Amino acid sequence: MRIHDITVALSPDLPCYPGDPPITVEPWQRIANGDAVNLSRITLGSHSGTHIDPPRHFNDSGITVDEIPLDLLIGQALVVEITGVREIGRKELEPLQLKGVERLLIKTDNSEFWNEKEFRSDYAALTVEGAHYLHREKVKLVAVDYLSVEKMDGDGEVHRILLNGGIPVIEGVNLFGVAPGEYQLICLPLKLKDGDGAPVRALLIGNPDAAAQPGFDPHTSKWPLA
């Protein structure tokens, strides 16, 4: 069994979405200075690093991060790979055969960006059409490999379609080195009361029985089709 930690490490060197609070980690107590313990003060936004967007993020009456059912955040998941495009719409999603998929992780060229400290505005993102398609396909959870599911000049409609449709979004996962296929997802957010978002620790566990499961072709999880 292989465990993939798809969480980026929180640090001041991590890219930050423009306008969000920066991440700081400052020494508060240090043994080297005569204190009894090492203790740090951390400041960050609720949407820093690998984090989850609950419906409350775009809707004052939506459920908060501490109200998301845990069984939605733990279970069978599919990683698909869509490369060479910056906009992910129905044309890119339809060949992936998503019927019955509840938790979808989309690996794109964004996974190459995590070694860069500066924010990349040219990241691949879901379109409004793509968001509607995932909602119609009854996907229950979507994860993307950069700091937003929506392009920078979007008006929030992609988020609203997903979140108001009851589809939480995990943003900022690191899928570099993760092959397309079926996994078990474990995603546990900080239990932030009334939170509009929170950092998460997200893991993918390799499915030891995947090779024995009929009907799964890894080539169908990549766009364009091999």
Residue 151 makes CB contacts below 8 A (sequence gap 6+) with 86, 87, 123, 125
Strands 141-144 and 169-171: parallel
**One of 4, 51, 57, 132 is an active-site residue; which one?**
57
Say if CB 206 and CB 2 are below 8 A apart: yes
β-strand partners of 43 = 24
Q: Exposed, middle or buried, 153 (CB in 10 Å: 0-12/13-18/19+)?
A: exposed
Alpha-carbon gap, residue 162 to 134, rounded angstroms: 8
For the question of residue 47 being annotated catalytic, the response is no
Closest residue by Cα to residue 142 from 225, 218, 211, 82 = 82
Active site residues per annotation: 57
